[in-house]
Structures are given as C-alpha cells and as structure tokens.
Amino acid sequence: MSPHPGATIITYGGKTPHIHETAFIAPGARLIGDIEVGPQASVWYNCVLRGDLNRIVIGARSNVQDGTVIHVEDGAAGEPGLPTLIGEDALIGHMAILHGCVVEDRGFVGMGSVAMDGSRIASEAMLAAGALLSPGKVLPSGELWAGRPARPVRSLTPDQRKQMQLQSAKYLAMAEAHRRALAQ
C-alpha cells in the first residue's frame, strides 16, 4: 500500500519527489518532479506542486494548506532559474500561489495570497490573506504586508508571532490525526 493513498506522485524528467517518511501528503495532492518534502511537513488536500522546470523544497514541519499551487521558473540561456524554497515551520495558507519564490523559516503566507518570481518572505514575516507580493520584492522579518500589490502595514506583535508558532504546532497534530483517519 502507498504511504500516501490517494495522492499522485509523478516522476518527471527523471526526478521523483522525495518525501520524508514522517511527512503527510493528503489524498488529492499532486507532486510532480523535483520536489523534497521534509520531516513532519504536510501537503494538504488538492494541492499541486509542480517541480518540472526547477526544484521545490518544503522544510521540516511546514504545512502547505488545501488547494495551494506551487510552481517554479526555469532559467533562460544558462541562468539557474527560480526554485520555490520553503523553510522550516512555515505556514502556507489555503489556496495560495507560490511561483519561484522563497519563504524562510517560520514565514507565513496568508490564504489566497500570491508570491511571485524572485520574491522572498523573511523569517517570522506575514503576507496577509489575498495579498500579492510582486516579483523580486522582499518582505522583511517581523513585518505584515497586505494589498495588491503588497505593501508594509506594520510590525507583527509578539502575540501574533506566538500565534504563528501555535498554528504550526496545530498543523503537526492535525496531520497526524488525518493520517490515522485515512488508515482506518
């Protein structure tokens, strides 16, 4: 039996997704090509991660919530291109779109938001729900950005940073509960 029943795991261009044995991949998720999913990370229902032109990395304990699309950019004429790299303990909200960008450790991407080519969300920074982080923009650590295009709103409070940590822990527990439910 597959360790990820109902998920689609596809080798593309000779590259097969590498999924840590403790990661949770929900039914309906699609992982294609050059992808690495770290320990205790979770990729939820109906996500599409397409590592066909470059690589995607999901760090330990990070969660990619339902309906999210992650893609990459290939390099032009010898350029390295833009992978999508997600650090550890990051939160990627429902139906986000990440394209050739970086989300550092403990970064937060709100529901329905978009992070475009070459953008970066620093550690403990938050891209608000529905926001659009333009190509090449850097959201600094500890800041909240919102809007389309995203702009600085304010610094995150210590309580908001703590809530982000609690959300990350909550998703670890939920992934284990869903894994048990699917095994029955």
Q: Does residue 171 lie within any of the structural domains? A: yes
Q: Does residue 3 lie within any of the structural domains? A: no
> For residue 35, what is the domain's CATH number?
2.160.10.10
Q: Does residue 2 lie within any of the structural domains? A: no
Q: Does residue 92 lie within any of the structural domains? A: yes
Q: Does residue 54 lie within any of the structural domains? A: yes
Domain interval for residue 155: 8-183
User: Which tokens belong to 78?
Assistant: 């010898």
Q: Does residue 60 lie within any of the structural domains? A: yes
Q: Does residue 66 lie within any of the structural domains? A: yes
Give residue 143's identity as a one-letter amino acid code: E
- The tens place of each residue's pLDDT in the chain, 184 residues long, gives 578 889 999 999 999 999 999 999 999 999 999 999 999 999 999 999 999 999 999 999 999 999 999 999 997 777 889 999 999 999 999 999 999 999 999 999 999 999 999 999 999 999 999 999 999 999 999 999 999 999 999 999 999 999 999 999 999 999 999 999 998 8
Give Cβ neighbours of residue 140 (< 8 Å, ≥ 6 apart): 122, 125
* Nearest residue to 22 (alpha-carbon basis) of 37, 7, 6, 1: 37
Number of domains in the chain: 1
Task: Give me the residues paired with residue 154 across strands.
Answer: 144
User: Which tokens belong to 177?
Assistant: 């509960």
Q: Is the pTM of this model over 0.85?
A: yes
CB atoms within 10 A of CB 154: 11
